[in-house]
Every structure is written in structure tokens, then in C-alpha cells.
């Protein structure tokens, strides 16, 4: 058989198996045989979760001669069932941009110059020794679980200042505070299986056709099989998703608060709420003054009194959505025989009332009893592959400890100190600074309160993502005594201004574990080596910890005097801090099996590492069975699936805020956005993403096919506004706020369609930094900034005008 | 050369007509349909052509959707690099 014929036959076997599975809804075992058949020509295949979004698709990675040469959707993965999106099937090319960072670089006389790893590690350790209180780490939801765990252990168990944050603060911390204030424990109760069982999907400011395309195709595929799934898109602009929706409800910015209150009002007034569910499982809660995340219990009567104001007409006035459409939504929730999924991502989270709108959407589901059955679930999605697994579960935020613990909680600190074998009192009870505050302190002179002096960034690009770039990022670059370290794989808007740049391994160039949006923990092995001197982020952290140990930092020792990252094999210590020995043992397995000891106290049980080697991810709690096997949990708090709900209870919110097994149904009033348009800045600015690019584009803009499809950012402008401004499609305009400006070409009737008075700019393009313009105002509880709404003006540029 | 495995979801009422239309594309090899899911293999000179073809396919009357389930990247990895240089 000719090689081409062999490959074509193999490809057809893959397609036929996928077609069978999509048509019949069942597994097609032959497909993996087809993939394995290719190993005959020297290609080795292994599993890995996709590197990009929080969906958590699994791919099969084909490698030959030390390079990734093929990517296939993993047929055995429940998440994506063999399908991939346009980013996923190009993920292998993310490794092979021509400008990979391959050597450590230190700024000398204003220029980044190559240095050795030994020197780089020494520089970092000496900065930490000189000012341990001012040393901070800033990571992301792209950290693997074990990278985040190592960073957390260094900051909280070793340095002891709790100055660790992650960019997930910028994308999903309002979802966290919403889950905590409603259920007392973070992360969705449901899972992706709900998408297969629901009758109605409500998208709250969400565009999954571009941001989570594989999940979206799961819904659309049901329609193509003849099933009826009603799709309701609530948003401030039309997107690709809108084209598939049965109803598009165009709202004003912050209108979601009014819509949710309008639904609650109607359910209450009409008596169509689920009395039995509320009686057994619900409690009512309202705000205190000053506001706290816990609020205070209120009676049902008080709740009714507060919600009475939100008649459909009042909600319509505030939201811009018609009273008839608000009645339509309430009518759907009033029907018990329907199964309703609410989905959201940045639209509800990047919101100065993010916690409130999260609470309200949970409240609509709880009040109407649309909870705890397959297909009935309020479910947040994440944008990064391990925002849940690393940031939320490992707790790489300034107030958290692994497994859902809090640094302010004495019991949680005690547990962490025991697990890490630390002397009592090592972990500080004082939270560090949240992201905006951490960067503000880094950008403020030390004698004026700027007490963060060294900031080590890993796997993220704050130069392109922090709001109000001039104030929170650029300011530090002009201050003496402020030192910025960046570990990354490519030059970025952040490395360009760094004092020290460290070249990192990417994705299958290292062992790793991610946790996706549905509580699924995933594992993969290193499959190719990184280029040049690029090294694992986890190794970089351990190497710095070891250098601190050698320099005599007392925090590097446990209470028996042992190095905190000491690892043994056959009774001998393995010097994993030396890169040539890093893969002598599986460091990921050692760290994960240590970390999973934290996972029990909030019932987020994780299985031993080796269980994940066998699986395409497992959803926690993963509980050991009498026969020694491990069973994942698809639906939490529901007796039929959650092992922590006792027989006969039906539903039990076992981390209830009110300590009585009940979830909280909150009242939060509507509040206007912080910076509405005015005569000087007459447009709303919304920012977001596009299908082809992932986050700041540092990976996807180096993939020729994706770059070619969408090379640069743009500003979507309504045709009427463009006419009034006298600008044509494609013409460059200045987008300017009170904080800064950027230039971009106008796109009329483009990918999305904003209404008159609103413009949209994607943030993937490092040549057009919209974070010069965005606002740092943030939610009082989650501290998550609002990137979806601030006031801007548009004008034609002056000759030679540039961004700034 | 790029070889892509596709599943084309077709409008059942136009399946026969559509299969005839699709069979005219020399780059496309069709398999046996399973209900309204038509497996296919697309062979193009490079990945960009593959992506463009799949997008055009999705816009064909009677095609409800195109899922790309696997792409062999062998030639592209060896010949392509950074878009930005």
C-alpha cells in the first residue's frame, strides 16, 4: 500500500468512527486502532489535554524524531468525543514559532543579554533574600496543577508573605465568590453532561460559538439529530452564537442584574417558584452595610419585599430587554418539566457587580427548582485550561490555601502546616494583595507604600492583560528598585519590559496536569523536549527554592530541618533542583500525591496520580470504592450521584453558608456600571476574544493558519455610528478613554455586531493594546475588574499619532 | 500535503443531491453516511487550504455543519514557523 493510501485509509477510519459516534451517540472503538496503526511509520501517540481554553478537550499527540507531527481529537475523551476546534487541531504548531525563548536573559545597561541558568536562579534568590516581604509571584490558569502547587508552597509555606496571585483573578474570581456565597464551596455542581440533557440553554453574556466551540457544537449537534434545544442569547452585542439562538435579548451593560431580578420577581409574585425545593433546600440572604461576602440571612417575606420593585416593566427599563422577554424567561423557569442550563463566562464575571450577578443566576435556578437534575444547572465556564484545577483548587490566590482553605482560617493553616510538616505559625494569617493591588503596589515607589519590589510572572502576559496598563504596568518600569522577572515561551508585551526573562517549556514539552471547567482533573506526560535551554516552570520554582535553602533562608526547611521540596528515590535524595536530574523521578507525581491530601476537607477528593494516567480526566470528588477502584462524580449535592449526600436526603448542600444544608438565594439590587458614557466619552467599550486566537495571542498568533485567518485586532462599530463619525470600514481610528488610547481599524458588520453607542475590541493583538484603555474598577468581593464596559470616544488620528 | 478527517452533517432531505455535489470535489473522498453524518477525507496541499475548504464546505446549501476530527500535520510542522518572525 502506498503511504498516501495508507494515511487516507487511516483518516477515513477516524472520520467513519466519529460519524458513527455522532449519529448513534455511542462509542466507536475502532477509531483508536486507526490512530495506533500509524505508529507503524514511526509516529508515537499519547494523550494530552488541549493547551488552550477551559473546555478541557483531549487530543492525541503524534510525535516523531522529537517533534510533534500530528494532532487528532481523542476519541476516548468524554469532553470532546474526538472533536476539536480550529485552535485545537493546530495546537501542535504552538511549539514551533521561530522566536522561541531559548536562553535566560538579564537586562544590563537597558538591554536583555543572555546569561546562564545558574546566574538567573541566583539573581532571583538574592532578590527574595534581600526583601522577602516584597517578593511576589504572579501566575495563571495556565500553570499546571503542580506548578501552581509548588509556587503556592514557596510563597505560603516558605517565604510566608502570601503574595501570590494569578491572572484567573481577572477572568473568573466572580464565579468563585458566587459559588462560595451561594453554596459555601467553589465550582459548578453540574457538568458538561447537562448539555446533553437540557431543553433550554441560556447564555448570559456568553459567546461559546467562538470561545468554547466544542461545547457549543455539542448543543448544536443535538439539534441536527432532530432534538429540540432552545437557545437564548442574552448579550450586549450580536456574536456568532447569536446566529444559532432562538431568542436574542439585547441588554444594556449591567442589564443582567435587572433581568435576573425581574425573573425572581415574577416567580415570587406569580407563585410559580418551586415551593418544595425552596422549603427543603433554600435560604434567603441579603447584603449588610458595609457589604460582606457572607451577607446576612433574611426571611422569605423580606426577600419578597425587596424583589417587589423589579416588575417586568422596571426590569425592562433598567436592562433594555422587553418586559415580554423577561416574562418569557420567567415562564420557562416556571415549568418544572423543562431542564434549563445557564452558561456564563467573562460576561458575568468581568463585572463590578460580578458576585451579585453570579448569586442572582444561581438564585433563579434554586428558586425555580432547576437544580440537581441532569440538564438543570447553573454552570460557569473558564477561559484557561487550569483556571479551576490550579488557581481555584490549588488556591494560588493571596487569600487561599490548597483544597479550598483560607489563610485567615486557623484550622486551615494548621492543616497546611501539618501537611507540609512546617513549624506551627509558619503560614501568615494575613492575605496578600489581590491582583490589581499587587500591581498597583509594584507600580508605586517603595517610600510611598509600594512594598512589592520583585514580581515573578509565570505563564501569563500582564503587560497585555492588566487593566489601565499605564498605571498598573508601565509605571513600575520607570521606578528604581522594582524588578520584574518573566518566565515565558515567546517574547511578549511583558517580557519586553522585564528585567529578567526565563525561557520555559510549553505543554507536552513537560509533564503536566490541568483541571477543566467541569471539575475534571487531567494528566499528561512529556512527549518532546523543549528547545535550547528552555526549562519547566516547576523546575524553575524548585531551583529558586533550593538556592534560597543554600543561602540560609529559614523558611526553606520543614520542622525537621529538611528542604521543603526534598524527594527521594530508593532511600536517596534526588537533586531535582538540578535540571539534569529533574526527570530522574516524576516530580509531578510526587507533588500531586502530596497536594491531594488537601482535597478532602472540602469534599474535592482527588485520586492518586496513577488513576489519572489511565483516564481522560476524572471529575472530583473522586471517591475510593470498596473494591479499591475510584469513582468520579458528575453531579454534586444530588443523592443519585454524589457519594457525600446521605441516602434519603435528595439534595444536600453540605458546605452550606447557613450551616443547615441549604443553598442561599440572594437578593442584590441593580447597580449602574461605574463609568457610563457621557458627552466627553460617548461610547461603551466592550473587550473580548475571537475564535482564532487564544487570550493574548502569544501562541495562536505564531500559528500561521490562525494568524492568517485573523492577523490583527479591530474595533467593531455600528454602521450608523461610523457614518456619524465620518469613518469608513477599514479606516484607522483612535479609541480613547480617560486612561489611554489605542489605534485600530474599523470593522462594520464584522464578526460581531454591536448596537449603536457600543464598540468592541478583541484583546489578542500585542500590536494594539486595548488594556491601555480599559478600567481597573473591580467587584468588591472578587476583586475582578470590569473589562466589558467603560466609556470611550472614537476619532480620526492626527498625522503620525500613536497609541499611548 | 495535509490529510483531514471530516464529519459533514447534512440536511437529510437533501442528502442524495448533496453527496453528488460533494463527490465532484477531487480533494474530497466520501465514506458511507451514518444517518445524516457523512465521513470524509480532505487532501490538500497545505493546512490553510484545508481550513478554507472546510469553511467553504460549511457554507454549502444543505450542509448543516462540518466537524474536523483529525488533521495530519506532518508536512506543515516541518515547513512552517512563526507568523511574526
Q: What's the ipTM?
A: 0.89
CA distance A540 to A518: 30
Cα–Cα distance measured from residue A138 to residue A127, given in angstroms and rounded to the nearest whole number: 16
Residue A187: half-sphere exposure toward Cβ, Cα within 13 Å: 29
Residues 6+ apart with CB under 8 A from A548: A125, A128, A129, A158, A555, A556
Query: In chain A, which residue's Cα lies nearest the Cα of B30?
Result: A12
Quote the crossing angle between the two packed helices A173-183 and A354-367, to the nearest 10°: 40
A74 Cβ under 8 Å from any chain B Cβ:
no
- Could you tell me if B63 and B8 are in contact, meaning their C-beta atoms sit under 8 angstroms apart? yes
Q: 522561541: which residue's cell?
A: A100
CA neighbor of B39 nearest in space, from A298, A513, A31: A31
Choice between A222 and A271, residue whose per-residue pLDDT is larger: A271
Residue A787 has pLDDT above 90, yes or no: yes
Neighbours of A88 (CB within 10 A): 24
Nearest to B81 among A62, A83, A96 (CB): A96
pLDDT of residue B35: 83
Residue-wise pLDDT tens digits, A459-485: 999 999 999 999 999 999 999 999 999
Angle between helix A323-334 and A312-319 (nearest 10): 120
| Chain A residues within 8 A of B1 when measuring between CB atoms | 4
Round to whole Å and give the CA distance between A285 and A216.
34
Residue A709 in contact with partner chain B when CB distance is under 8 A? yes
In this predicted model, what pLDDT tens digit does every residue of A484-515 receive, in sequence order? 999 999 999 999 999 999 999 999 999 999 99
Q: Distance between CA A522 and CA A524 in Å, rounded?
A: 7
Do A732 and A767 meet the contact criterion of CB atoms below 8 Å apart? no
Tens-place pLDDT, residues A12-59: 877 887 787 777 765 544 335 555 555 456 788 899 999 999 999 999
Which residues from chain A sit within 8 angstroms of residue B43, using beta carbons?
4, 8
Among chain B, residues having any CB pair with chain A shorter than 8 Å are 1, 3-7, 9, 29, 31-41, 43, 47-48, 51, 64-65, 67-74, 76-78, 80-85
Which of the pair, B52 or A308, is modelled with greater confidence?
A308
How much is the pLDDT for B80?
A: 35
- The confidence band for A134, taking pLDDT boundaries of 50, 70 and 90, is very high
CB hemisphere CA count around A478 (13 angstroms) = 7
User: A678 phi and psi, to 5 degrees?
Assistant: -140, -170
Helices (H), A184-254: 193-197, 208-211, 213-224
With a cut of 50, say whether residue A238 has pLDDT above it. yes
pLDDT for B77 beyond 60: no
Using 50, 70 and 90 to split pLDDT, how confident is the model at A362?
very high
Of A221, A224, A704, the CB nearest to B80: A704
pLDDT value, residue A23 = 76
Note the pLDDT of residue A490. 98
Does residue A125 sit in helix, strand or coil? helix
Cα dihedral: A707, A713, A718, A723 (round 10): -110
In the numeric block, which cell numbers belong to residue A352?
463590578
A71 vs B67: CB contact, 8 Å cut-off? no
Q: Could you tell me the CA-to-CA distances from B3 to A3, A8, A95, A529 in Å, in that order?
A: 12, 7, 21, 26
| pLDDT given at position B71 | 77
Q: Does the active-site annotation cover A348?
A: no
- Taking an 8 Å cut-off on Cβ atoms, the answer to whether B3 and A8 are in contact is yes
Mean pLDDT to the nearest integer, A448-458? 98
More confident residue, A106 or B20: A106
Whether residue A126 lies in the annotated active site = no
pLDDT of residue A723: 97
Average per-residue pLDDT in chain A? Answer: 95
Per residue in A511-555, pLDDT (tens digit) is: 999 999 999 999 999 999 999 999 999 999 999 999 999 999 999
Q: Are A402 and A149 in contact (CB under 8 A)?
A: yes
CB A511 within 8 A of CB A612: no
Residue B54 has pLDDT above 90, yes or no: no
Do residue A14 and residue B80 have CB atoms under 8 angstroms apart?
A: no
Report the range out of A66-80, A353-367, A702-716 with the highest average pLDDT.
A353-367
Looking at residue A640, its pLDDT comes to 97
Contact flag A82-B69 (C-beta cutoff 8 Å): yes
- A706 to chain B: nearest residue by CA? B48
- Chain B residues with CB inside 8 Å of A18's CB? 5, 7, 39, 67, 69
Query: Annotated catalytic residue: which of A250, A384, A527, A664?
Result: A384
Kindly give the pairing relationship between strand A135-139 and strand A200-204. Answer: unpaired
Q: Looking at the predicted structure, is the pLDDT value of residue A706 above 70?
A: yes
Q: Is there a contact between A104 and A114 (Cβ–Cβ < 8 Å)? A: yes
Joined together, the cell numbers standing for residue A570 give 530508593
Q: Note if A383 is an active site residue.
A: yes
A12 touches chain B (CB under 8 A): yes
**CA A326 to CA A328: how far, in whole Å?**
5
Cα–Cα distance for residue pair A180/A169, rounded to 1 Å: 15
A594 — phi, psi (to 5°)?
-75, -45
Confidence bin at B76 (pLDDT 50/70/90) = very low
Question: What are A623's three cell numbers?
Answer: 471517591
Q: If pLDDT is split at 50, 70 and 90, which confidence band does A618 have? A: very high
Quote the percentage of chain A above a pLDDT of 90.
Answer: 88
Mutate: best of B40, B70, B85, partner A, most A CBs <10 A: B70
CA distance B59 to chain A (A): 14
Output the DSSP codes for A346-373: HHHHSSTTHHHHHHHHHHHHHHTT--SB
Of the candidates A263, A398, A283, A284, the one whose C-alpha atom is nearest the C-alpha of residue A333 is A263
Q: How confident is the model at residue B58 (pLDDT cuts 50, 70, 90)?
A: confident
Task: Tell whether the torsion through CA atoms of A19, A25, A30 and A32 is positive or negative.
Answer: positive
Amino acid at each position: 500500500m502506498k503511504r498516501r493510501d495508507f494515511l487516507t485509509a487511516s483518516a477515513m477510519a477516524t472520520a467513519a468512527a466519529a460519524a458513527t459516534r455522532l449519529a448513534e451517540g455511542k462509542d466507536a472503538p475502532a477509531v483508536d486502532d486507526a490512530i495506533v496503526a500509524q505508529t507503524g511509520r514511526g509516529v508515537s501517540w499519547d494523550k494530552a489535554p488541549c493547551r488552550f481554553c477551559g473546555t478541557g478537550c483531549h487530543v492525541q499527540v503524534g510525535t516523531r524524531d522529537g517533534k510533534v507531527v500530528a494532532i487528532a481529537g481523542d476519541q476516548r475523551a468524554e469532553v470532546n468525543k474526538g472533536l476539536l476546534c480550529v485552535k485545537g487541531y493546530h495546537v501542535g504548531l504552538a511549539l514551533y514559532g521561530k522566536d522561541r525563548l531559548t536562553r535566560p536573559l538579564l537586562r544590563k545597561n537597558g538591554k536583555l543579554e543572555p546569561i546562564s541558568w545558574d546566574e538567573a536562579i541566583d539573581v532571583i534568590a538574592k532578590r527574595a533574600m534581600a526583601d522577602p516581604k516584597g517578593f511576589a509571584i504572579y501566575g495563571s490558569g495556565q500553570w499546571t496543577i503542580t506548578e501552581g502547587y509548588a509556587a503556592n508552597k514557596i510563597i505560603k509555606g516558605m517565604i510566608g508573605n502570601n503574595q501570590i496571585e494569578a491572572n484567573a483573578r481577572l477572568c473568573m474570581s466572580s464565579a468563585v465568590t458566587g459559588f462560595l456565597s451561594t453554596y459555601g464551596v467553589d465550582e459548578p455542581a453540574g457538568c458538561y453532561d447537562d448539555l446533553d440533557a437540557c431543553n433550554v440553554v441560556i447564555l448570559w453574556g456568553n459567546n461559546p460559538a467562538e470561545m468554547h466551540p466544542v461545547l457549543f457544537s455539542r448543543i448544536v449537534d443535538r439539534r441536527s439529530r432532530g432534538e429540540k434545544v432552545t437557545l437564548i442569547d442574552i448579550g450586549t452585542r450580536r456574536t456568532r452564537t447569536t446566529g444559532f439562538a432562538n431568542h436574542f435579548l439585547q441588554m444594556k451593560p449591567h442589564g443582567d442584574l435587572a433581568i435576573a431580578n425581574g425573573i425572581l420577581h415574577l416567580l415570587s409574585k406569580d407563585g410559580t417558584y418551586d415551593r418544595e425545593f425552596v422549603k427543603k433546600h433554600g435560604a434567603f440572604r441579603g447584603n449588610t452595610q458595609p457589604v460582606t461576602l457572607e451577607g446576612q440571612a433574611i426571611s422569605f417575606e423580606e426577600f419578597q419585599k425587596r424583589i417587589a420593585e423589579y416588575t417586568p416593566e422596571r426590569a425592562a427599563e433598567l436592562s433594555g430587554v422587553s418586559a415580554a422577554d423577561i416574562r418569557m424567561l420567567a415562564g420557562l423557569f416556571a415549568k418544572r418539566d423543562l431542564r434549563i442550563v445557564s452558561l456564563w463566562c467573562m460576561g458575568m464575571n468581568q463585572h463590578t457587580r460580578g458576585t451579585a450577578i453570579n448569586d442572582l443566576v444561581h438564585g433563579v435556578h434554586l428558586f425555580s427548582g432547576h437544580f440537581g437534575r441532569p440538564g438543570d444547572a447553573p454552570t460557569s465556564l473558564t477561559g484557561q485550561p487550569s483556571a479551576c484545577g490550579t488557581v481555584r483548587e490549588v488556591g494560588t490566590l493571596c487569600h487561599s490555601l490548597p483544597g479550598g482553605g483560607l489563610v485567615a482560617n486557623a484550622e486551615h493553616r494548621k492543616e497546611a502546616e501539618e501537611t507540609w510538616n512546617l513549624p506551627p505559625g509558619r503560614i501568615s494569617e494575613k492575605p496578600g494583595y489581590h491582583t490589581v493591588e499587587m500591581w498597583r503596589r509594584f507600580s508605586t515607589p517603595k517610600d510611598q507604600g509600594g512594598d512589592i519590589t520583585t514580581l515573578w510572572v509565570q505563564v501569563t502576559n500582564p503587560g497585555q492583560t492588566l487593566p489601565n496598563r499605564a498605571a498598573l504596568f508601565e509605571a513600575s518600569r520607570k521606578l528604581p528598585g522594582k524588578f520584574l522577572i518573566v518566565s515565558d515561551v515567546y517574547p511578549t508585551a511583558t517580557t519586553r519590559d522585564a528585567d529578567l526573562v526565563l525561557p520555559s517549556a510549553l505543554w507536552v514539552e513537560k509533564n503536566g496536569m490541568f483541571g477543566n471547567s467541569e471539575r475534571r482533573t487531567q494528566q499528561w506526560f512529556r512527549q518532546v523536549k523543549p528547545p535550547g535551554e528552555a526549562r519547566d516552570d516547576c523546575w524553575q520554582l524548585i531551583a529558586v527554592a533550593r538556592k534560597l535553602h543554600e543561602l540560609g533562608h529559614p523558611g526553606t526547611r520543614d520542622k525537621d530541618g529538611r528542604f521543603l521540596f526534598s524527594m527521594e528515590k530508593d532511600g536517596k535524595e534526588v537533586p531535582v533542583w538540578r535540571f539534569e536530574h529533574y526527570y530522574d523521578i516524576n516530580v509531578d507525581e510526587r507533588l500531586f500525591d502530596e497536594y491531594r491530601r488537601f482535597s478532602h476537607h472540602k469534599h474535592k477528593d482527588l485520586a492518586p496520580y496513577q488513576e489519572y494516567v489511565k483516564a481522560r480526566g476524572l471529575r472530583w470528588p473522586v471517591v475510593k470504592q470498596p473494591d479499591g477502584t475510584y469513582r468520579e462524580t458528575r453531579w454534586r449535592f444530588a443523592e443519585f450521584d454524589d457519594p457525600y449526600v446521605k441516602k434519603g436526603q435528595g439534595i444536600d448542600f453540605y458546605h452550606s453558608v447557613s450551616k443547615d444544608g441549604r443553598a442561599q438565594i440572594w437578593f442584590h439590587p441593580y447597580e449602574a456600571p461605574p463609568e457610563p458614557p457621557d458627552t466627553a466619552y460617548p461610547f461603551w467599550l466592550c473587550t473580548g476574544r475571537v475564535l482564532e486566537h487564544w487570550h493574548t495571542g502569544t501562541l495562536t498568533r505564531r500559528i500561521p493558519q490562525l494568524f492568517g485567518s485573523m492577523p490583527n485586532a479591530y474595533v467593531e462599530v455600528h454602521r450608523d455610528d461610523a457614518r456619524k463619525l465620518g469613518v469608513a470600514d477599514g479606516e484607522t481610528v483612535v479609541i480613547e478613554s480617560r486612561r489611554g488610547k489605542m489605534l485600530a481599524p474599523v470593522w462594520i458588520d464584522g464578526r460581531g455586531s454591536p448596537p449603536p453607542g457600543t464598540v468592541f475590541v478583541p484583546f489578542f493583538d500585542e500590536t494594539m493594546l486595548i488594556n491601555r484603555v480599559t478600567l481597573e474598577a473591580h467587584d468588591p468581593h472578587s476583586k475582578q475588574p470590569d473589562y466589558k464596559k467603560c466609556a470611550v470616544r472614537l476619532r480620526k488620528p492626527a498625522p503620525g499619532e500613536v497609541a499611548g | 500535503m495535509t490529510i483531514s478527517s471530516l464529519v459533514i452533517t447534512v440536511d437529510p432531505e437533501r442528502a442524495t443531491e448533496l453527496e453528488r455535489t460533494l463527490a465532484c470535489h477531487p480533494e474530497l473522498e466520501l465514506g458511507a453516511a451514518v444517518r445524516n453524518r457523512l465521513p470524509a477525507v480532505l487532501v490538500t496541499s497545505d493546512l490553510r487550504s484545508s481550513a478554507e475548504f472546510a469553511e467553504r464546505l460549511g457554507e454549502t446549501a444543505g450542509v448543516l455543519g462540518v466537524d474536523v476530527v483529525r488533521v495530519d500535520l506532518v508536512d506543515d510542522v516541518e515547513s512552517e514557523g512563526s507568523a511574526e518572525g
